[in-house]
């Protein structure tokens, strides 16, 4: 296996009295789907936010391609090729699919029309949005000019995932992308996850759905009480094993011994 494209070492994050991250480690390699599982409140979303610039951890290290990084915002992380679909989905319902895919990255018309009059190059964006959706196998929306508020929940989710897939050159992070979806729509999102992975991008997939995790993940990061307590392959363990580790009924394969160390390493 190659060196991790994105990794974290001993992340801590406190919210008042709550320790959301308690020395969490993380890694994902290119062309790999890393599922992150854990009970409600285990700290999965906090981990993802720390990795993607939505929050700054109190301490700990984050490495991208082996280089120490410190993201101050999701935009900062995006500039480094990390795209995230957060648990609370962010699409602009009043805009069409194409505009949503280019949100914050609008293409201007060539020449003075774009540089001085700031006119958007809508035809170019539509062509590219349509090509991206085709490439990703998203064919349920009739046209990229369709307003997102007229789409079904699953189609909206697909647009958000497609946007991440289109721009995430290194890492695509999906926090519960199938939670609100029907079987068919969830299947489409999982297929999309495979396609992103097959392009060599690292995919981080947070999910409570064990069958889906076992279907698509190359490795599973099991999170409990703010830490990674186990890192396993779905081929080596059963769903029952994973749930037992998640809930603390069984010990994971990583030490919690260093939990007693003083918080922080001066990061
Ligand atoms: N902004 C915040 N302010 C205060 N506490 C927070 C904040 N964000 C998270 N927490 C707390 O940190 C802990 C971890 O929350 P987090 O959202 O990371 O869990 P999660 O594993 O994603 O859970 P779920 O499966 O329900 O999405 C929880 O106890 C939560 O209440
Ligand atoms: Mg969460």
Residue pLDDT, tens place only, 241-252:
999 999 999 988
Residue nearest to atom 24 of ligand 1 (CA): 40
Q: Which ligand has the shortest distance to the CA of 15?
A: 1
Q: Which ligand has the shortest distance to the CA of 42?
A: 1
Q: Within a 10 A sphere around the Cβ of 219, how many other Cβ atoms?
A: 18
What is the pLDDT, as a whole number, of residue 186? 82
C-alpha of residue 112 to centroid of ligand 2, in Å? 45
What is the pLDDT, as a whole number, of residue 10? 97
Residues 57, 63, 69, 75, CA torsion sign: negative
* CB distance 44 to ligand 1 below 6 Å: yes
Task: Categorize the per-residue pLDDT at 264 as very low, low, confident or very high, splitting at 50, 70 and 90.
Answer: very low
C-alpha of residue 109 to centroid of ligand 2, in Å? 40
Residue nearest to atom 8 of ligand 1 (CA): 46
Atom of ligand 1 nearest to the CA of 47: 18
Q: Which segment of 13-22, 192-201, 216-225 scores lowest on mean pLDDT?
A: 192-201
Residue nearest to atom 4 of ligand 1 (CA): 15
Structural domain boundaries of the chain?
6-94+147-260
Contact predicate 105/168, CB 8 Å:
no
* H-type alpha helices, the chain: 44-51, 74-79, 97-101, 112-115, 122-135, 153-167, 183-198, 210-216, 239-247
Single pTM value for the model: 0.85
* CB distance 41 to ligand 1 below 6 Å: yes
What is the pLDDT, as a whole number, of residue 90? 67
- Euclidean distance between the first and final Cα of the chain, in Å? 28
Residue nearest to atom 30 of ligand 1 (CA): 41
* CA separation for the pair 79, 105 (Å, rounded): 11
CATH number for the 6-94+147-260 domain, one of 1.25.40.10, 3.30.70.890, 3.30.110.40, 3.40.50.300? 3.40.50.300
* CB distance 248 to ligand 1 below 6 Å: no
Q: Which ligand has the shortest distance to the CA of 46?
A: 1
At how many degrees (to 10) do helices 183-198 and 153-167 cross?
A: 10
What is the pLDDT, as a whole number, of residue 140? 66
Burial of 2 (0-12, 13-18, 19+ CB in 10 A): exposed
What is the pLDDT, as a whole number, of residue 209? 92
């Amino acid at each position: 296996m190659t060196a991790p494209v994105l990794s974290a070492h001993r992340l801590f994050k406190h919210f008042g009295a709550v320790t959301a991250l308690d020395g969490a480690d993380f890694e994902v390699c290119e062309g790999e789907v890393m599922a992150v599982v854990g009970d409600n409140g285990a700290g999965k979303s906090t981990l993802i936010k720390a990795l993607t610039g939505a929050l700054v951890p109190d301490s700990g290290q984050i490495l991208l391609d082996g280089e120490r990084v410190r993201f101050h915002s999701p935009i900062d992380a995006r500039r480094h090729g990390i795209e995230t679909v957060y648990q609370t989905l962010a699409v602009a319902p009043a805009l069409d699919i194409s505009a949503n895919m280019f949100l914050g990255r609008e293409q201007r018309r060539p020449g003075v029309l774009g540089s001085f009059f700031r006119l958007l190059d809508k035809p170019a964006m539509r062509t590219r949005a349509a090509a991206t959706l085709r490439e990703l196998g998203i064919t349920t929306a009739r046209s990229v000019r369709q307003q997102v508020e007229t789409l079904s929940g699953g189609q909206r989710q697909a647009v958000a995932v497609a946007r991440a897939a289109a721009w995430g050159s290194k890492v695509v992070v999906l926090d519960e992308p199938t939670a609100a979806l029907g079987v068919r729509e969830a299947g489409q999102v999982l297929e999309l996850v495979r396609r992103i992975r097959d392009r060599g991008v690292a995919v981080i997939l947070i999910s409570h759905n064990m069958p889906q995790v076992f279907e698509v993940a190359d490795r599973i990061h099991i999170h409990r009480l703010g830490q990674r307590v186990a890192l396993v392959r779905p081929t080596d363990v059963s769903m029952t094993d994973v749930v037992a580790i998640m809930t603390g009924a069984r010990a994971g394969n990583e030490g919690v011994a260093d939990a007693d160390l003083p918080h922080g390493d001066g990061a």
